Amino acid sequence: MKKYYFILILLSLIALWPFFKQGFFESHDGEWMVIRFSAFHQTLAAGQFPVRFVDRLNNNYGYPVLNFLYPLPFYLAEIPKIAGFGFVDSIKIVFAVSTVFSVVGMYWALSHRFSKYAALAGSLIYLFIPYRFVDLYVRGSLGENVAFAMAPVILGGIFKLTKDRNEFLAILSVSIALLVMSHNVLAIIFIPLFFLLSVILIKKDIFKITAAFLVGLFVSSFFWLPAFYDLHFVKLSQINVSNVSDHLSSAKRLIFPSWGLGQPPQQENGLSTQFGLISLAVFIASTFSFLISKRDKIIGTLIVVYIAIFFLITNYSAAFWRIPHVDIIQFPWRLLSLIVLISALLAAYVVDSVKNKKLVASLIIAIGIISTIIYTKPSNFVDRSEGFYSTNEDTTTVRYEYLPLWVEEKPEIRANRKIEIEGNGEIISSEIKAANYKAEINAQEEVKIIVNTIYFPGWKASIDDENVNINYRDNPNGLMSFKLPEGSHKVIIKYGK
């Protein structure tokens, strides 16, 4: 057993070789993740927990991005950061460790239902499949990569429960909560399939299974509930981050190998939406085996879902994506994440469907590695200083979609001071920390205090420990302000939610 874990770790590390080079590499989101993490770290160090509003981003006017987007990868990145690594290396470590864990975790999960050779093949296909390398080297999607690490724990928990190991109910709940915090959208994609598999496999304990899923959602509700409720405060409720039709593909692009570093798959050099040669091979083989032998309900379900996903990513499904709210996943090709999971399961099933398991497992692994290892080359390596990331004030989102609706004009010019006075008064002393400002102010008359941070629910202001109302609709930038009476006062403006 130990030698298999060694093989899994070694092959995973080979696929991750770019993460061991100095600096980082360019991708759609990778460097944004470093910038976002540096702002997250500064805010967490200033005492905000959980981190929701980071005031360094958006030209130092603040941005509630972490109220809406997956927090777990950044909490995990705090571990290497505390150990002394920089922001870039901390993010790279989370990428690398979660990738290795995903493979090892999938082997653990599959070994509870399939043979050791089947589990070995399935776990390696879980990594050596095109979409995983799209996530790592083209998109730089940290959240999705961590979600891929959480999924095998859920799957393994389900398989354990089929053997009446009820202690895994708690593990199932915790892993579901961690999946939600890893990536909101992938949780929406994965959880229904996991629940369906649970219902098929564990009919007699359907109440316990349902309770475990609900507990997982409850545990993570500190994140997803405010994120869901607060959507009506931000521009995302009124705009589309992407045009779904731009991200549909031809059937040809799903079948034949291709590679691109752009974004919409339809454009030249666009993002690859291929299922992968090995994925298509195990799908065909498992379908054939399913039809001629004893029909496994789990495999039948996976085959149907596989076919449905193929259709939903093609241009033929355009009418479906016009149904209200189904475009919550933003990009139809995100369904390839399910293809990754299903392909791992089908690969294991194919191996166990034949007599010579070792030979077939070796062939699947070889084809998987040979057909995808060429995709481990990023577009370009860069070696920027830590200061580039730790002082960068971008929003780290595409269309500033998490700006509050009352921000009519995005503030572009960085303010020299966080707190300003309009009227006859002076700031005697001040202490400015991330999302936590304190000042001693002497006013010769009633003055207006202007805080150069956009307002978002959760901000509070107090004068001499007495809360005061914040005005944020008297300016097009949505900045906070309030009246300060004559005299010397202690002013505190703090975010907490």
pLDDT at residue 83, as a whole number: 98
Distance CA 145, CA 123 (A): 15
Name residue 322's beta-bridge partners: none
The answer to whether 64 touches 52, Cβ cutoff 8 Å, is: yes
DSSP 3-state of 351:
helix
pLDDT at residue 269, as a whole number: 86
pLDDT at residue 239, as a whole number: 82
Across residues 304-315, what is the average pLDDT? 97
Band the pLDDT of 263: cuts 50, 70, 90: confident
- Spatial neighbors of 55 by CB under 8 A, at least 6 apart, are 43, 61, 62, 63, 434, 435, 453, 495
Ramachandran class of 225: left when φ > 0, alpha when ψ lies in -120 to 50, beta otherwise: alpha
pLDDT at residue 63, as a whole number: 97
pLDDT of residue 294 exceeding 80: no
pLDDT of residue 497 exceeding 80: no
pLDDT at residue 266, as a whole number: 80
Burial string for 137-165 (b: 16+ CB within 10 Å, else e) reads: bbbbbbbbbbbbbbbbbbbbbbbbbeeee
pLDDT of residue 249 exceeding 90: yes
- Spatial neighbors of 64 by CB under 8 A, at least 6 apart, are 52, 53, 54, 230, 234, 402, 404, 456
CB-neighbour burial class of residue 71 (10 A; exposed 0-12, middle 13-18, buried 19+): buried
Centroid of chain to Cα 422: 42
pLDDT of residue 405 exceeding 90: yes
pLDDT of residue 18 exceeding 80: yes
**Helices assigned H by DSSP within 83-129:** 87-110, 116-125
Across residues 120-146, what is the average pLDDT? 98
- Say what the pTM is: 0.95
